[in-house]
Copies of this chain bind each other. A is one copy, B any other.
Amino acid sequence: MERADAARNRARILEAAADLFRTKGAPNVTMDDIAKAAGVGRGTLYRRYPDRASIAVALLDEHERALQEKLIRGEPPLGPGAPAPERLAAFYAAMVDLLEEHAPLILGAEVGRSRFETGAYGFWRVHVRSLLGEVPEADALVDALLAPLAPDVYTYQREVRGLTPAQIAAGLTRLAGALG
């Protein structure tokens, strides 16, 4: 059981962090900023979240879980029942939505190599791997197909190349369609 003050502080920390990530950009937010904004001390912050990444992961958790649920039990083409290329395309489209909504957050969650260490990456990997079926090169292909969903690639396409989410999704759909 969690004490009431602890719960209140957790909520305050998450709220403050979400706000700071959005306004200042994840890499520019220090642990100290978050503690200050949440009105708690450094020790309190570190007790729960050892680094920025773990805060971002906590913030992302519910959104990613919702998508995971849809992939497993949702309607086709996202859920089971549609042909693999269509399901892959639908997955790409859903991920583009997620990135568009939360790219700054996801960017904040991924310090260094941590992208591949999150449970979410493992889940996407298993999902796409299963869609590929018995293709011999599938084990190498999986990560190649997930690579375009890296948040830094997405923000580069959006902000530097000036592409729209629709254009990016279209490109990925083509990629999905080309396999089979």
Instruction: List residues of A whose CB falls within 8 A of some B CB.
Output: 27, 112-113, 115-116, 135-141, 143-145, 147-148, 150, 152-153, 155-157, 160-161, 163, 167-168, 170-175, 178-179
Copies in the complex: 2
Query: Which residues of chain B are near A143, meaning CB under 8 Å?
Result: 148, 153, 156-157, 161
Partner of A163, one of B112, B140, B147, B179: B140
* Sample of 9 more A-B contacts, CB < 8 Å, known A143-B153, A143-B156, A178-B179: A113-B152, A113-B155, A137-B170, A139-B161, A140-B157, A143-B157, A145-B175, A147-B148, A147-B150
Q: Can you list 20 A-B contacts (CB < 8 A)?
A: A27-B112, A113-B152, A113-B156, A115-B152, A137-B171, A139-B161, A139-B163, A140-B163, A140-B171, A141-B171, A141-B175, A143-B148, A143-B157, A144-B147, A144-B148, A144-B172, A144-B175, A147-B147, A150-B150, A150-B153
